[in-house]
Amino acid sequence: MTPKLSRYHKPTRSAKAPGKHILVYDGDCHFCSRLAEFLHRRSRVHLTLIAFSDFGEGELLATLEQNEILSSAHYITPDGSEYHGGESVTRAARLLPFGSIAGVLDLWVVSWLREVGYALVANRSSCPIQTR
């Protein structure tokens, strides 16, 4: 099976704003877990981490199918904006000190490369976030 080189999914909205910053990630993937913990520890604001295994159905990510939820990371803002794939990581990285630098990766010209890079990491055989 050929790896999917882009996991881009347009931002969505939560049915109800969570009122906090949330990162939904694959807790079974060592790389993903380490990155999530890094963002959590160094964030300027509290970032709630939710592993896929702990993520239940509800008002968050309700517009996505289950396979879409499990295929990439998701960052949800306090106002309910939901970002997916590589964009979720760069949006969460904006919470770090000097995080505005990560915004460069959200520029239209660079965002495609960000998504391809995200897909390449996610498609590694050692990372369970794979095209399902």
Q: What region, left, alpha or beta, does residue 98 occupy, with left being phi > 0 and alpha being psi -120 to 50 degrees?
A: left
Q: Domain 12-122 has what CATH class?
A: alpha beta
Q: Hey, where are the domains in the chain?
A: 12-122
Q: What percent of the chain has pLDDT over 90?
A: 58
The Cα–Cα gap between 80 and 100 comes to 20
Q: What is the DSSP letter of 110?
A: H
Q: At what angle do helices 86-93 and 30-42 cross, to 10 degrees?
A: 30
Phi, psi angles (nearest 5°) of residue 117: -60, -45
The Cα–Cα gap between 62 and 37 comes to 25
| pLDDT tens digits along 46-98 | 999 999 999 987 889 999 998 889 989 999 999 999 999 999 999 999 999 99
Instruction: Provide the pLDDT confidence category of residue 124 given band limits of 50, 70 and 90.
Output: low
